[in-house]
Structures are given as C-alpha cells and as structure tokens.
Chain A
Amino acid sequence: AQSVTQLGSHVSVSEGALVLLRCNYSSSVPPYLFWYVQYPNQGLQLLLKYTTGATLVKGINGFEAEFKKSETSFHLTKPSAHMSDAAEYFCAVSGSRGSTLGRLYFGRGTQLTVWP
C-alpha cells in the first residue's frame, strides 16, 4: 500500500528565505513521487516528479526535491521564496508496477505563506 505524510500543514517564510516542505512516503513497491501545487480556486499543477534515475530532481519555478530511499523522504525545497510561491503544495506517491500504477495517493497538503 502507498501513503504520504506531509509534516506541517502550514509553513510561513519571508520573501527570499529558504523554502522546505517535508514529505515522507510509504510504498510496498518502488515508488513514483510527485509534488503538485494548487493556487486558490485552481486545479493542481505538477511541480516535479521522481520516477527513476537521478535522485535530485528539478522542477518548475526553481523548486527541487531529493528522493532519499533510506529515509523514505521526498522533501521539496526552493533556495529563495517569492511572493508568487504562496499556495497549497501536495506530495503524492504511486506505485511503479501492477495494480499500484496510476493510483496517486496524496498527502494532506502544506499551505505555504510568504511574507514580504
């Protein structure tokens, strides 16, 4: 079975500060991992994904995440926050084979607030 835990339902940072959003996963098979962003009253937009290969993945808007198998983590970071980064961020996991394919399991989201 797959599941995701996002530590911290709310994170606040100052503009220009480091953004760190935490995600830990559980998966019975090698996982595919995703970060999505949701702006108010909008759908989800894919920020980045890890499937295979390099464990440090870069996404849009300057975000990156590192897959750490030993820690079952996939934390999202951005060196310098911008006001436009304020949104809800979701970490998601799916399995990489069999019946686990295509089933995205989401964490409960982290609301990022950026202060001027």
Chain B
Amino acid sequence: DTAVSQTPKYLVTQMGNDKSIKCEQNLGHDTMYWYKQDSKKFLKIMFSYNNKELIINETVPNRFSPKSPDKAHLNLHINSLELGDSAVYFCASSPGTSGAPTYNEQFFGPGTRLTVL
C-alpha cells in the first residue's frame, strides 16, 4: 500500500536514448510534482500538475515532457538523453495547492536513479 510509487527504481541507458519514468499515488491527492536531485544531492522542482493540468514548469529543457493521464499518475518522458541528465528523479504529491496549509505538505516517492552512459 505504498503511497507514492515510482518505476523503475534504477534506469541505466545510453546517451541519445528516450526513456520514461512512471509515478503513481494512491493518496487521492490532486497535485503531483517531479523533482531532480543531482550528484551533490541538490533538489530542484521541475514540474507540477494539478488535476492533470500543468501548473509549474521550471526552466527545464524541452527534452523533458511530463504527462498526466489522470490525477493519480504523472509520468516523465525524456528524449535524447544526455550525460547531465544522470540524477535521481523524485515524484511527489500533495492534497492540492490552495492556501490551506495542509494542502502544501508533499509526500515523496522512493526515487528513480537514472544513469546515462
């Protein structure tokens, strides 16, 4: 009964390939996020979807494309992978994005370690 799950846990691929990471949450939350954690463990938000609508799109290369088929799922597709894309990618979810404080608590998945060779 994992709250936020990601697949795969590890992903090793060659430069230039296209890959996808999947995320699912069973918390009934409306909002989902993708974060990137680099080799120095710095975490940075990439995208956020609220009820399947893109609401946050930080300065991320166009090769990264999130897709939310429904509010329980947020996938991340990466085209033409580069060495610098190697990182741990975390999915998170929160109840929503209204001003109510409880809406802003984010629950994180276990991460997907992407290694580009």
Contact = CB atoms under 8 A, between A and B. Distances in A.
Contacts of A43: 4, 90, 108-111
Interface string A53-79: 000000000000000000000000000
B99 interface: yes
A108 B42 contact: yes
Contact of A102 (B44, B97, B111): B97
Interface of B: 4, 31, 33, 35, 40-45, 48, 50, 55-56, 90, 92, 94, 97-99, 101-111
A51 interface: yes
Interface of A: 32, 34, 36, 38, 41-46, 49, 51-52, 88, 90, 92, 94, 96-97, 101-106, 108-109
A88 B41 contact: yes
B97 to A, nearest CB: 4
Given A102-B55, A106-B42, A52 B101 contact: yes
Given A43-B109, A49-B105, A102 B31 contact: yes
